[in-house]
């Protein structure tokens, strides 16, 4: 490939600890024969050196808006438009705020304002900064301007906190860059090319999510339950938090950390979950992702039932409260959107359609739980969204991506949502 045919990236490196990942990002891009010009903010140079960046890109990074020598070689307007794509990694809260406000008080922000090319942003900041309403407003404004996002991821921060705000890993950013470069950069990319940024979409909204299984005691040792890791429900709660919502997560027994920022209520049984949901209402959105046991033992033995070779214990089952139907059919204070899940081993869509009508909810997320699907306990899922308007099959995604995509879809269906 000739130099004229190579893709060109203008890489803006912000000032955060995640800047060390940007060195690996540059290396990965160079392996793919992508040319890179780098711009470093003053803060970025406190984390990685210009020499390190120059060694990997093959040319000295730009850093000074008023350097006459640099301006003689390449003006900032030309620099902002000579690339096929502008990438900001890491994108700090400060850089994102400058972009949203249209500020141009240093080289990086000036280039971002002057460019006529698509911009891809990889946010990196403390979780409280990411979840702050100001950041949510800025992200929403940039999304409206057509800015593309990859991440952030959940994880442990340099400050010791855990939650959303970690810059995506270099290979994930490379994937997003390649997706952007493969498209006409004057057009917006499909929402499912990478994780859909949703910050601000649910600002001021209340969301209730149920997650995990319920355990219905037979005796102090044994119980009835459905299989569920809680990963999908927790992912939806985290996506709603990232979108700016006030989230109540009602969770059965799971081996997962509570999403930071959510009001978490831990329950064991279906009746406890039902009471917790009723107490958490009203809400704008209810998502019943929990695998609630349909039945419970009519009587729970106070002591462990001993095995008796001459007598098998009889177990009489009674039906548990139907939480999804109860929320969907509330006479007053019904959430604007009620979403249920249908975990099926056969006739997936037909059963989901029947459940939609039977429960009276607005949306059913249908997913196969046949053993070969690997849904239980896995990191990925393939679902179809069933509404009165029809069926929308989604591609296989991570459970985190499904959570984010669902929250974006629901935000557009709420009364008063921007179209």
Asked if residue 322 belongs to a known ligand binding site, the reply is: yes
Is residue 138 located within the same domain as residue 12?
yes
Q: Which residues of 361-398 are buried (b: 16+ CB within 10 A; e: fewer)?
A: bbbbbbbbbeeebebeeeeebbbbbbbeeeeeebeebe
Is residue 149 located within the same domain as residue 237?
no
Is residue 21 located within the same domain as residue 166?
yes
Is residue 63 located within the same domain as residue 153?
yes
Is residue 254 located within the same domain as residue 312?
yes
Nearest to 227 by CA among 409, 41, 369, 69: 369
Asked if residue 153 belongs to a known ligand binding site, the reply is: no
E strands of 253-382, at which residues? 263-266, 285-288, 295-297, 317-319, 337-344, 363-368, 380-381
Q: Is residue 195 part of a domain?
A: no
Q: Which residue among 148, 181, 214 closes a domain?
A: 181
Q: Which domain does 281 fall in, by range?
A: 206-413
pTM for the whole structure: 0.57
Q: Which two tokens stand for residue 317?
A: 């089952």
Asked if residue 149 belongs to a known ligand binding site, the reply is: no
Q: Residue with structure tokens 């064991």? A: 268
Q: Is residue 201 part of a domain?
A: no
pLDDT of residue 323 exceeding 90 = yes
Q: Is residue 200 part of a domain?
A: no
Q: Give pLDDT, residue 190.
A: 38
- Is 264 in the active site? no
Q: Which residues contact 309 (CB under 8 A, 6 or more apart)?
A: none
Question: How are strands ordered across the β-sheet holding 35-40?
Answer: 35-40, 8-13, 85-91, 119-123, 148-149
Q: Give pLDDT, residue 336.
A: 96
Question: Is-contact 117 81, C-beta < 8 A?
Answer: yes
Q: Which residues contact 353 (CB under 8 A, 6 or more apart)?
A: 364, 386, 391
Nearest to 173 by CA among 194, 204, 145: 194
pLDDT of residue 375 exceeding 70 = no
Bridge partners of 240, per DSSP, are none
Supply the mean pLDDT for the chain. 85
Residue range 77-127, pLDDT digits in tens: 677 777 889 999 899 999 999 999 999 888 888 888 888 888 999 999 888
CATH of the domain at 112: 3.40.50.1950
Q: Which two tokens stand for residue 225?
A: 């339950």
Q: Give pLDDT, residue 183.
A: 56
Higher-confidence residue of 5 and 305: namely 305
Q: Is residue 245 part of a domain?
A: yes
Confidence of residue 62 (pLDDT cuts 50, 70, 90): confident
Q: Which two tokens stand for residue 58?
A: 């093959």
Q: Is residue 16 part of a domain?
A: yes
Residue range 381-411, pLDDT digits in tens: 889 999 999 999 988 888 888 998 899 899 9
Catalytic residue among 159, 191, 221, 357: 159
Q: Residue with structure tokens 């003006």? A: 75
Asked if residue 359 belongs to a known ligand binding site, the reply is: yes
pLDDT of residue 2 exceeding 60 = no
Nearest to 176 by CA among 139, 140, 150: 150
pLDDT of residue 191 exceeding 50 = no
**How many CB atoms are located within 10 Å of the residue 253 CB?**
15
φ, ψ of residue 39 in degrees (nearest 5): -125, 130
Is residue 225 located within the same domain as residue 353?
yes
Asked if residue 294 belongs to a known ligand binding site, the reply is: yes
Q: Is residue 418 part of a domain?
A: no
Q: Give pLDDT, residue 142.
A: 86
Please give the tally of structural domains in the chain.
Answer: 2
Is residue 120 located within the same domain as residue 244?
no
Is residue 177 located within the same domain as residue 254?
no
Alpha-carbon dihedral angle through residues 228, 230, 236, 242, given to the nearest 10 degrees:
-170
Q: Give pLDDT, residue 139.
A: 85
Q: Is residue 361 part of a domain?
A: yes
Asked if residue 119 belongs to a known ligand binding site, the reply is: no
Is residue 157 located within the same domain as residue 240?
no
* Antiparallel, parallel or unpaired: β 295-297 and 263-266: unpaired
Residue range 211-252, pLDDT digits in tens: 999 999 999 999 999 889 999 999 999 999 888 899 999 999
Residues in the chain: 419
Higher-confidence residue of 368 and 64: namely 368
Q: Is residue 129 part of a domain?
A: yes
Q: Give pLDDT, residue 185.
A: 37
CATH of the domain at 342: 3.40.50.10300
High-pLDDT (> 90) share of the chain, % = 45
pLDDT of residue 338 exceeding 80 = yes
Is residue 174 located within the same domain as residue 302?
no
Q: Which one of 133-137, 314-318, 371-375 scores highest in mean pLDDT?
A: 314-318
Asked if residue 26 belongs to a known ligand binding site, the reply is: no
Asked if residue 392 belongs to a known ligand binding site, the reply is: no
Q: Give pLDDT, residue 261.
A: 84
Is residue 99 located within the same domain as residue 11?
yes
Is residue 114 located within the same domain as residue 23?
yes
Asked if residue 231 belongs to a known ligand binding site, the reply is: no
Q: At what angle do helices 170-181 and 19-31 cross, to 10 degrees?
A: 50
Question: Is-contact 98 54, C-beta < 8 A?
Answer: no
């Amino acid at each position: 490939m000739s130099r004229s045919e190579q893709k060109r990236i203008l890489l803006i490196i912000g000032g955060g600890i995640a800047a060390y990942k940007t060195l690996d990002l540059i290396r990965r891009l160079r392996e793919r024969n992508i040319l890179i010009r780098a711009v470093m903010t003053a803060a970025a140079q406190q984390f990685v050196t210009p020499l390190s960046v120059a060694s990997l890109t093959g040319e000295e990074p730009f850093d000074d808006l008023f350097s006459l020598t640099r301006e003689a070689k390449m003006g900032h307007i030309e620099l902002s438009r000579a690339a096929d794509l502008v990438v900001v990694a890491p994108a700090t809260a400060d850089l994102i705020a400058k972009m949203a406000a249209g500020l141009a008080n240093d080289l990086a922000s000036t280039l971002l304002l002057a460019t006529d090319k698509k911009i891809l942003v990889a946010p990196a900041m403390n979780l409280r900064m990411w979840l702050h309403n100001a950041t949510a407003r800025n992200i929403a404004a940039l999304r409206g301007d057509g800015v593309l996002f990859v991440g952030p991821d959940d994880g442990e921060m340099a400050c010791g906190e855990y939650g959303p705000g970690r810059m995506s890993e270099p290979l994930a950013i490379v994937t997003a860059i390649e997706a952007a470069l493969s498209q006409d950069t004057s057009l917006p990319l499909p929402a499912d090319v990478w994780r859909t940024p949703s910050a601000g979409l649910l600002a001021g909204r209340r969301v209730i999510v149920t997650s995990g299984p319920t355990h219905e005691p037979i005796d102090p040792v044994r119980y009835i339950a459905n299989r569920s890791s809680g990963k999908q429900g927790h992912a939806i709660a985290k996506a709603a938090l990232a979108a700016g919502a006030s989230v109540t997560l009602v969770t059965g027994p799971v081996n997962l950390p509570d999403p930071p920022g959510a009001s978490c209520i831990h329950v064991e049984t279906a009746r406890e979950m039902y009471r917790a949901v009723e107490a958490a209402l009203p809400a704008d959105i209810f998502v019943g992702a929990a695998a609630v046991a349909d039945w419970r033992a009519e009587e729970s033995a106070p002591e462990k039932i001993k095995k008796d070779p001459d007598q098998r214990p009889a177990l009489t089952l009674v039906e548990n409260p139907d939480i999804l139907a109860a929320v969907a059919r509330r006479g007053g204070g019904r959430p604007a959107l009620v979403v249920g899940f249908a975990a099926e081993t056969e006739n997936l869509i037909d059963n989901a359609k029947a459940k939609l009508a039977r429960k009276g909810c607005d949306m059913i997320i249908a997913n196969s739980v046949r053993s070969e699907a690997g849904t239980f306990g896995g990191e990925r899922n393939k679902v179809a969204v069933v509404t009165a308007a029809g069926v929308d099959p989604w591609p296989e995604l991570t459970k985190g991506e499904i959570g984010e995509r669902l929250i974006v879809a629901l935000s557009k269906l709420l009364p008063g949502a921007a179209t």
